[in-house]
A and B are shown apart, each in its own frame.
Chain A
Amino acid sequence: MLLPFFNWLNGLPVSQAIGSSIWIYPLVQAIHLVFLALFAGAILMVDLRLLGVTLRSQSMAQVARDARPWLIAGFLGMVCTGIPQLMQNASREYYSEYFWYKMYLIAFGLIFTMTIRRKVSQGTESSPASKVVGLVSIMVWGSVVVNARLIGLFT
């Protein structure tokens, strides 16, 4: 259903320009990873706090509030560097199962992070519920990374 859209995306002059330069695509890929580190750090620090294994002298809410701007910055940075990569490769990535796993996991991760995780991280002390949320968050975002890396390796 989305194939015409992906082909159109791939055919745009901008996408072609990205593809025909030897530098742009690799550099965008590399910068994507730098933003990944920022995003992962902001996610992980809060998740480890939700699990009750680090920064226990601070409340969960405090750690989560401190992390939020970096979480958002990291995510936006990855969107801005992810879209050009997709554009250049759209017709191929459409057929990659890992690409779609990644997209579904991101959709789930975003909703989960903005609703349940956000609610739970407003608490003070970690609880069984916050531990489950922290674990789910680590597993979902970890799976995003794994599937993302597999797109390039097995497509």
Chain B
Amino acid sequence: MADFLMPLHDLFFWVSEMPSSIAIRESLYVSPYLTVSHVVSMCIFAGLIVMMDLRLLGVGNMRTPFSEVQRRLFPWQMLGMGMSSVTGLTLAFADPMRFYVNIFFWTKMLVMVLAGINAMAFHFITYNSVVKWDSAANTPFGARLSGALSIVMWAVVIVSGRLIPYNWFQNS
């Protein structure tokens, strides 16, 4: 793997040797059911994020003011985020070395960080002017940009997550 990941190698390897990590890895059913739960959590999180992004783009849920969509869906999005994080972290904890050498895993992690930055940027910049466009027929450029970036980035996260089992580029 790339050199800049080397500092993480020891951490991932250390985790992989922990008895609890080995126990989950060697169990027949824990990982499959975690995978299933991870997909269900993804539906809650990504589904409601997309519903909000469509509103930002000005193409969906236009009968509801944006701030209303954002505020009301937020707790459910966070529930989905919490569930995906717990199931995802446990999956990574159970087999760290499998993910360490996986390009799709790192793509997913990187794009998730970028999506987080996009959400923060929207929240601290564009959202400040929400009163001006909350119920307007058109959303401002900043809102549309954030919405489009969010949809694209979460789609990349989903796609790269699904591609993790197909490690075409493994060379370690």
> Which residues of chain A have a CB within 8 Å of any CB of chain B?
22, 26-27, 29-31, 33-34, 36-45, 48, 54-58, 62-63, 65-67, 69-70, 142, 145-146, 149-150, 153-154
Contact = CB atoms under 8 A, between A and B. Distances in A.
Most A CB within 10 A of own CB, among B47, B49, B158: B47
B46 interface: yes
B23 to A, nearest CB: 19
Which label, helix, strand, loop or mixed, suits the secondary structure of the A interface? helix
B63 A40 contact: no
A154 B64 CA distance: 42
A40 B47 contact: yes
A54 B162 contact: no
Interface residues of B, number: 35
A26 B43 contact: no
Nearest to A32: B162
Interface of B: 32, 35-36, 39-40, 42-44, 46-51, 54, 60-64, 68-69, 72-73, 76, 154-155, 158-163, 166, 168
Contacts of A33: 39, 42, 158-159, 161-162
Contacts, number: 110
Given A66-B60, A66-B62, A41 B39 contact: no
Nearest to B46: A37
A43 B155 CA distance: 18
A145 B51 CA distance: 19
A16 to B, nearest CB: 19
